[in-house]
C-alpha cells in the first residue's frame, strides 16, 4: 500500500509556530527572494548590506538605505522600488517581496516569510551560509538550484500526527 500525505510536515507531527522567526544569511555571490506565505505578506524587520540590485514590492513603509544604494526605479501604484549600488537596506512592517542579486551580502530577517536562496560558487568555491539563530548550525546555500526556507520553520513539537496509514484489506499483496 502506498501512503501519500498532502502536507508531509503536518502529517509527520511538524508544526509552524505562530511567533516570528529569525534568519541570518551571507554570501559572496548569489541571489534570494523573500516573500510571504499562505496568501499573507511578509512581516517583520529586514536588514541587508550588499552590492548589487534589490527590488522591493508592495511595501507599506518605503525602505531606508545607506551608502551608494541609489533608487533606480519606482512605481508608486504597486509600491515598487528598485535600488542599485552598495550599502544597507532596511525594511520594517509589511511588504510583498524583496528580491536581490549581487555580491558581498550579509543580512538578518526577524519576522514571518519564506526565502528562496540561490547560491553561486565564488572564486574559492563557496556558495554562502544561512542559519536561524545565534549559535545554531550554519547551512550552505545551494548552488545551481533553489532552496526554500520558511521563517519561522517547522518544528517537531509534540503534536499527534493527524494522518494515520491504514493497511489495505488485501494484506499488502
Q: pLDDT per residue over 22-40, tens digit each?
A: 999 999 999 999 999 878 8
Kindly give the pairing relationship between strand 21-35 and strand 97-119. Answer: antiparallel
Give CA–CA dist 24/31, Å, rounded. Answer: 14
Residue 1 lies in a domain: no
pLDDT of amino acid 39: 81
* Strand-pair partners of 22: 110
Statement: residue 2 has pLDDT above 50: no
Q: Between the CA atoms of 66, 71, 75 and 81, what dihedral angle is there, to the nearest 10 degrees?
A: -40
Query: Residue 145 and residue 29: Cα distance in Å, rounded?
Result: 14
Q: Is residue 64 part of a domain?
A: yes
Range of the domain at 110: 18-151
Structural domain contains residue 140: yes
> Mean pLDDT, the chain, as a whole number?
84
In a domain, 146, yes or no: yes
Q: What are phi and psi of 38, to 5 degrees?
A: 50, 45
Specify if 13 maps to a domain: no
Q: What is the pLDDT of residue 78?
A: 92
Q: What predicted TM-score, i.e. pTM, was given to this entire model?
A: 0.78
On whether residue 169 sits in a domain, the answer given is no
- What is the C-alpha separation between 61 and 81, in angstroms, rounded? 11
Give the total number of structural domains in the chain: 1
Residue 172 within any structural domain of the chain? no
Residue 144 or 137, more confident: 137
Please indicate, yes or no, if residue 33 is contained in any of the structural domains.
yes
Residue 75: C-alpha distances to residues 79, 98, 111 (Å): 6, 15, 25
Report how far residue 71's alpha carbon sits from residue 138's, in angstroms, rounded to the nearest whole number.
33
Amino acid at each position: 500500500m502506498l501512503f501519500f500525505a498532502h502536507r508531509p510536515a503536518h502529517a509527520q507531527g511538524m508544526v509552524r509556530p505562530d511567533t516570528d522567526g529569525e534568519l541570518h544569511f551571507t554570501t559572496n555571490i548569489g541571489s534570494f527572494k523573500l516573500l510571504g506565505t499562505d496568501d499573507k505578506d511578509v512581516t517583520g524587520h529586514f536588514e541587508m548590506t550588499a552590492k548589487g540590485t534589490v527590488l522591493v514590492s508592495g511595501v507599506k513603509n518605503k525602505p531606508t538605505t545607506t551608502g551608494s544604494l541609489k533608487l533606480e526605479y519606482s512605481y508608486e501604484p504597486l509600491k515598487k522600488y528598485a535600488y542599485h549600488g552598495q550599502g544597507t537596506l532596511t525594511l520594517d512592517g509589511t511588504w510583498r517581496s524583496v528580491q536581490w542579486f549581487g555580491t558581498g551580502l550579509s543580512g538578518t530577517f526577524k519576522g514571518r516569510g519564506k526565502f528562496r536562496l540561490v547560491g553561486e560558487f565564488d572564486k574559492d568555491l563557496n556558495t554562502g551560509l544561512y542559519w536561524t539563530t545565534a549559535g545554531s548550525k550554519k547551512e550552505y546555500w545551494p548552488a545551481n538550484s533553489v532552496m526554500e526556507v520558511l521563517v519561522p520553520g517547522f518544528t517537531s513539537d509534540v503534536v499527534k500526527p493527524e494522518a494515520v496509514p491504514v493497511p489495505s484489506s488485501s494484506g499488502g499483496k
